[in-house]
């Protein structure tokens, strides 16, 4: 779950502002692609120009296309700088439909992230891979936005607590945790069958969630329940 998140949970941050204006960014909004035939795609471009270089093609049914940027005009068309699936670029706004439900979910998540901003920033600058023990539980909080998911890895009690946006949640034992490549990569295995979690964390101090401008110390790619691949960011906390 670590495409441009190193992602995304990643980051490229979500202070997406038009290159033609230094005004404050617009409120965060989430869209879905509309008006594109099945089998065709919407081009995300490097600049608000139909002749600009194509960065990525969005499928006709793409959702969670997010923006907090001011629109830009090209001729009679209006363009938005958006973030989708770890990529950031410009799309013609006539092919975007505002999604109120997902916007509210994204804003709620951003507020939660901002609440923990100080902790995350302090953790990101910590040179140690994990904090020194103080009698408190050491937990790796991991999560991402596409779709929303989170896993709390309790390194003290050796448990994995998983929550997925579709309502699935479970707690599994953490069987294996190993640092490799000079304490830069951690491999985690836990649970079995439907409750299995296999994850690789990379310490890079540059992971972003695509919604805030916070940079997290770890990026993560995980497989949950054997058939769900996700990516995002992690931070270390103590409780």
pLDDT surpasses 70 at 1: no
What confidence score (pLDDT) does residue 146 get?
64
pLDDT surpasses 90 at 186: no
Q: Give the C-alpha separation, 169 to 162, whole Å.
A: 5
pLDDT surpasses 60 at 228: yes
Domain boundaries, the chain: 29-105, 118-238
Q: Could you report the per-residue pLDDT of 38-50, keeping only the tens digit for each?
A: 989 999 998 898 9
Contacts by residues 55-62 (CB-CB < 8 Å, ≥ 24 positions apart): 55/87, 55/89, 56/84, 56/85, 56/87, 56/89, 58/33, 58/84, 58/91, 59/33, 60/33, 60/36, 61/32, 61/33, 62/32, 62/33
Average pLDDT, the chain: 77
Helix (H) or strand (E) holding 103: helix 100-115
pLDDT surpasses 70 at 173: yes
Q: Could you report the per-residue pLDDT of 109-160, keeping only the tens digit for each?
A: 766 655 554 444 444 444 344 444 456 788 888 988 766 788 899 989 999 9
* Reported pTM: 0.48
CATH of 29-105, one of 3.50.50.60, 1.10.290.10, 2.30.30.40, 3.30.365.10: 2.30.30.40
């Amino acid at each position: 779950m670590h495409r441009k998140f190193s992602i995304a949970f990643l980051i490229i941050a979500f202070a997406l502002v038009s290159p033609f204006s230094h005004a404050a960014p617009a409120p965060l909004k989430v869209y879905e692609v509309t008006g594109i035939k099945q089998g065709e795609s919407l081009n995300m471009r490097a600049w608000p120009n139909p002749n600009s270089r194509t960065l990525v093609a969005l499928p006709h049914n793409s959702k969670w296309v997010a923006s907090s940027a001011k629109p830009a005009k090209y001729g009679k068309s209006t363009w938005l700088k958006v973030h989708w699936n770890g990529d950031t670029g410009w799309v013609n706004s006539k092919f975007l439909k505002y999604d109120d439900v997902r916007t509210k979910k994204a804003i709620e998540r951003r507020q939660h992230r901002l609440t923990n901003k100080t902790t995350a920033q302090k953790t990101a600058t910590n040179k140690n891979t994990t904090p020194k023990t103080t009698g408190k539980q050491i937990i790796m909080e991991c999560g991402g936005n596409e779709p929303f998911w989170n896993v709390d890895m309790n390194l003290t009690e050796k448990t994995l607590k998983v929550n997925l946006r579709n309502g699935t949640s479970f707690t599994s034992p953490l069987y294996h945790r190993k640092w490799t490549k000079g304490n830069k990569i951690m491999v985690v295995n836990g649970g079995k069958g439907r409750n299995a979690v296999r994850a690789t964390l990379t310490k890079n101090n540059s992971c972003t969630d695509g919604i805030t401008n916070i940079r997290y110390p770890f990026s993560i790619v995980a497989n949950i329940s054997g058939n769900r691949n996700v990516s995002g960011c992690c931070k270390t906390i103590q409780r």
